């Protein structure tokens, strides 16, 4: 991975190779921690973080859901991310990874006795599902793993523990020769990808499942806003796997995945088998948005 000079840990800039934790760090053992994934893009006016406020607020919401008492407030966390980017002098697009975790000092499942630590890492990172994926689309497998059901887990929290489910689904998909997994909910409706939200296009209508069993995705919200502003009809409703197979277009959205077309699901070619027209239009509009090329959405950027 691309190292950077510094990682922010509890208010201090620590050299990358020294940003370490004790082996008895509570989160390592019991999986209670919350994180964010945020991107900063090299715009014409320099590096800018996309939707910094929303991501930082979601981090604090995730902590609230999982009963972790944050040690830093919204403004401090935002400022820390800005300063980290300034200090690291990045020349490419950047991925930011804030993490609130339970540290060293208490073991056992009663987690509230464990100290709360906060770290923010940032590094240069390109397309999560590959540059070719962004252009040609990717091959997706409906997972044999069901998305963490709301009866036992809390998908609105970007919680470390939720990602065991994602990792197993991702591994299975890649092991079977696919590039990404699409998970159903416990009732058999489409929930989300291992790290993305999901859209289909049918007869000119853009459809995305509700967030009943998925993260409230910031990119999904941005794409829906773009679509509405472009006059595209948007529906939030349940989608079944057979409906996916006969969709005209399909794509994933996520901070890491951006807008990634899907060309094949379970061996069924989707639409024309390449990036669909609406997908392309929304992808272009999304990149214009995050790169500050559309003044209408420039307020969503925080310039460094
Ligand atoms: C499980 C899951 N769903 C959806 C998303 C997309 O969310 P966002 O657009 O806020 O990055 C992500 C990525 O953060 C994710 O990990």
Secondary structure of 95-150 as H, E, C letters? EEEEEEEECCCCCCCCHHHCCEEEEEEEEECCCCCCHHHHHHCEEEEECCCCCCCC
Residues 6+ apart with CB under 8 A from 301: 43, 48, 49, 50, 290, 292
Domain annotation covers residue 47: yes
| Whether residue 181 sits in one domain with residue 61 | no
Do residues 183 and 192 make contact, with C-beta atoms less than 8 angstroms apart? Answer: yes
Residue 158 known to be catalytic? yes
Which of 74, 109, 124 terminates a domain? The answer is 124
Q: How far apart are CA 115 and CA 240, in angstroms?
A: 43
| Whether residue 12 sits in one domain with residue 116 | yes
Domain annotation covers residue 298: no
| Whether residue 74 sits in one domain with residue 137 | no
3-state helix, strand, coil in the chain (%, to 5): 35, 30, 40
Do residues 77 and 35 make contact, with C-beta atoms less than 8 angstroms apart? Answer: no
Q: Which of 51, 141, 156, 158 is catalytic?
A: 158
| Whether residue 150 sits in one domain with residue 111 | no
How is 50-101 classified by DSSP, letter by letter? ETHHHHHHHHHHHHHHTT---SS-HHHHHHHHHHHHHHHT--S-EEEEEEEE
Instruction: Identify the pLDDT of residue 250.
Output: 98
221: Cβ below 6 Å to ligand 1?
no
Instruction: Identify the pLDDT of residue 128.
Output: 83
Instruction: Identify the pLDDT of residue 294.
Output: 98
| Whether residue 16 sits in one domain with residue 145 | no
Do residues 303 and 47 make contact, with C-beta atoms less than 8 angstroms apart? Answer: yes
| Whether residue 213 sits in one domain with residue 92 | no
Instruction: Identify the pLDDT of residue 272.
Output: 93
Domain annotation covers residue 297: no
Q: How far apart are CA 35 and CA 122, in angstroms?
A: 13
209: Cβ below 6 Å to ligand 1?
no
The two tokens of residue 298 are 């420039």
Domain annotation covers residue 114: yes
Q: How far apart are CA 249 and CA 68, in angstroms?
A: 40
| Whether residue 143 sits in one domain with residue 265 | yes
HSE, CB side, 13 Å, CA atoms: give it for residue 229: 14
| Whether residue 40 sits in one domain with residue 14 | yes
- Which residue among 170, 219, 222 is best mutated to probe the pocket of ligand 1, counting the most ligand atoms within 8 A of its Cβ? 219
Instruction: Identify the pLDDT of residue 216.
Output: 95
Domain annotation covers residue 301: no
How far away, in angstroms, is 106 Cα from ligand 1 center?
31
| Whether residue 109 sits in one domain with residue 233 | no
Domain annotation covers residue 162: yes
Please measure the distance between the N-terminal and C-terminal CA atoms of the chain and give it in whole angstroms: 23
| Whether residue 277 sits in one domain with residue 138 | yes
Domain annotation covers residue 299: no
Helix, strand or coil for residue 291? coil
For residue 72, the enclosing domain spans 6-124
Which of 124, 142, 164 terminates a domain? The answer is 124
Residues 6+ apart with CB under 8 A from 119: 7, 8, 9, 10, 19, 98, 99, 101
| Whether residue 278 sits in one domain with residue 163 | yes
- Check which CATH number belongs to the domain holding 115 and give it: 3.30.470.10
The two tokens of residue 73 are 């407030």
Q: Work out whether strand 138-142 and strand 197-202 pair parallel, antiparallel, or are unpaired.
A: unpaired
166: Cβ below 6 Å to ligand 1?
yes
218: Cβ below 6 Å to ligand 1?
yes
- Check which CATH number belongs to the domain holding 184 and give it: 3.20.10.10
Instruction: Identify the pLDDT of residue 271.
Output: 95
- Provide the 10 A C-beta neighbour count for residue 19: 15
Q: Work out whether strand 190-193 and strand 301-303 pair parallel, antiparallel, or are unpaired.
A: unpaired
Q: How far apart are CA 190 and CA 179, in angstroms?
A: 17
Domain annotation covers residue 161: yes
Instruction: Identify the pLDDT of residue 64.
Output: 98
| Whether residue 279 sits in one domain with residue 139 | yes
Q: In the chain, how many domains are there?
A: 2
Residue nearest to atom 1 of ligand 1 (CA): 195
The two tokens of residue 263 are 């060309």
Do residues 252 and 180 make contact, with C-beta atoms less than 8 angstroms apart? Answer: yes
- Rounded to two decimals, the pTM is 0.96
Tens-level pLDDT at each residue, the chain (304 residues) = 899 999 999 999 999 999 999 999 999 999 999 999 999 999 999 999 999 999 999 999 999 999 999 999 999 999 999 999 999 999 999 999 999 999 999 999 999 999 999 999 999 998 888 888 999 999 999 999 999 999 999 999 999 999 999 999 999 999 999 999 999 999 999 999 999 999 999 999 999 999 998 999 999 999 999 999 999 999 999 999 999 999 999 999 999 999 999 999 999 999 999 999 999 999 999 999 999 999 999 999 999 9
Which of 75, 101, 124 terminates a domain? The answer is 124
Instruction: Identify the pLDDT of residue 132.
Output: 87
């Amino acid at each position: 991975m691309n190292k950077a000079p510094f990682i922010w840990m509890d208010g201090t800039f620590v050299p990358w190779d020294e940003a370490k934790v004790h082996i008895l760090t509570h989160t390592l053992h019991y999986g209670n921690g919350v994180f964010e994934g945020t991107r900063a893009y090299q715009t014409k006016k320099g590096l800018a973080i996309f939707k910094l406020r929303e991501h930082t607020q979601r981090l604090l919401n995730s902590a609230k859901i999982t009963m972790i008492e944050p040690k830093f407030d919204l403004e401090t966390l935002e400022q820390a991310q800005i300063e980290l980017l300034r200090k690291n002098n990045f020349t490419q697009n950047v991925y930011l990874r804030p993490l609130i975790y339970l540290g060293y000092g208490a073991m056992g499942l009663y987690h509230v006795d464990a100290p709360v630590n906060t770290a923010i890492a940032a590094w240069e990172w390109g397309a999560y599902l590959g540059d070719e994926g962004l252009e040609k689309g990717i091959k997706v497998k409906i997972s044999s793993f069901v998305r963490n059901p709301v009866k036992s887990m809390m998908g609105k929290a970007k919680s470390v523990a939720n990602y065991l489910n994602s990792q197993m689904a991702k591994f299975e998909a890649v092991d079977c020769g696919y590039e990404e997994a699409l998970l159903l909910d416990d009732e058999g409706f489409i929930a989300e990808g291992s790290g993305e939200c999901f859209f289909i296009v049918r007869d000119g209508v853009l459809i995305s499942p509700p967030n009943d069993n998925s993260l409230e995705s910031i990119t999904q919200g941005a794409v829906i806003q773009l679509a509405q502003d472009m006059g595209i009809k948007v529906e939030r409703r349940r989608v079944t796997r057979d409906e996916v197979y006969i969709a005209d277009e399909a794509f994933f959205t996520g901070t890491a995945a951006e807008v990634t077309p899907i060309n094949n699901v379970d061996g069924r070619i989707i639409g024309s088998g390449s990036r669909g027209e609406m997908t392309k239009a929304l992808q272009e509009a999304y990149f214009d948005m995050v790169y500050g090329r559309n003044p209408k959405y420039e307020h969503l950027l925080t310039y460094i």
